[in-house]
Amino acid sequence: MQIEFVKMHGLGNDFIVVDARRLSIGPDDWESVARRACDRHFGIGADGLILVFSTDEADIRWRILNPDGSEPEMCGNGIRCFARYVFESGIVNKPQMTVETLAGIIVPEILFRDGTFWGVRVDMGKPRLQRTRIPMTGPAGMVISEQLAVGDQLLQITAVSMGNPHCLVYVDDVETAPVTELGSLLEKHPVFPQKTNVEFVQVLSPQAIKMRVWERGAGLTLACGTGACAAVVGSVLNRYTERRVTVHLPGGALEIEWDKAGERVFMTGPAVEVFRGEYSL
């Protein structure tokens, strides 16, 4: 069986996008497809597999699967790629759309400059700050600059959910931070029953931060959109930054804004098509 795909990326966070609406592949079978297709040596190679489905709950529905076959609730860079794909493919014929995800209804908007595609702005919804909503074990309340034993170290962490869990660690220099070592330990730390994404954050100014990320189910990646949103929310809660912040990642920069009411987080960034092809199952 051959499936048509488009390879896309948002700041180097790359995805295989497939219109799955008419494909006769069972829901559980996509997990093995993701593991094979995302393999960078024996497959196409990607940080995730994105699938397009129809729905009565929104304009369109997506699924996203990690390289290990697990299914995250949301992915900020992925949703921008998804929005551009369904719009330019004519699947959704309006620039602002509603997308059904495991994190709820997400609203991306295609942006144009001088009549050509420029980027995607996404209403990422309201951050979830209570420990049980992240989810994270322990006493009720928010997790802001809280001590956590990790291996033989005691870290200060802040936890935020953007529909998926994030653990923030503030450091003096992200370039020298032990992202792989501590990221893998924090991802599977027992206080996070559904595991967690891990962001190492360096504050550059009240309007800018620098970040590296260890993604749950994917490992070290060049960017994470939900992680950038979580990092800005966490930086505001810790009084490190203002509410509108440029987040610098290894793959490029995202513009993140947490509105004054604390109700919505908005993410603006690129979505790039790399190539198209067919993959043999």
Question: What is the bridge-based pairing of β-strands 104-113 and 99-101?
Answer: antiparallel
Strands (E), the chain: 2-10, 13-19, 48-53, 60-65, 99-101, 104-113, 116-123, 143-150, 153-161, 165-170, 197-205, 208-215, 219-221, 244-249, 252-258, 265-269, 272-280
Q: How far apart are the C-alpha atoms of 275 and 205, rounded to whole Å?
A: 37
Out of 38, 81, 167, 224, the active site residue is 224
Active site residue 224: yes
State the DSSP code for 69. S
Active site residue 229: no
Out of 38, 75, 81, 229, the active site residue is 75
Q: How far apart are the C-alpha atoms of 166 and 230, rounded to whole Å?
A: 7
How many residues are listed for the chain in this entry?
281
Q: How far apart are the C-alpha atoms of 50 and 239, rounded to whole Å?
A: 36
State the DSSP code for 131. G
State the DSSP code for 51. E
Q: Which of 162, 167, 263, 257 is nearest to 214 (CA)?
A: 167
7 Cβ contact partners less than 8 Å away, ≥ 6 residues apart: 14, 15, 16, 17, 44, 46, 273, 274, 275, 276, 277
Which residues are annotated as catalytic? 75, 224
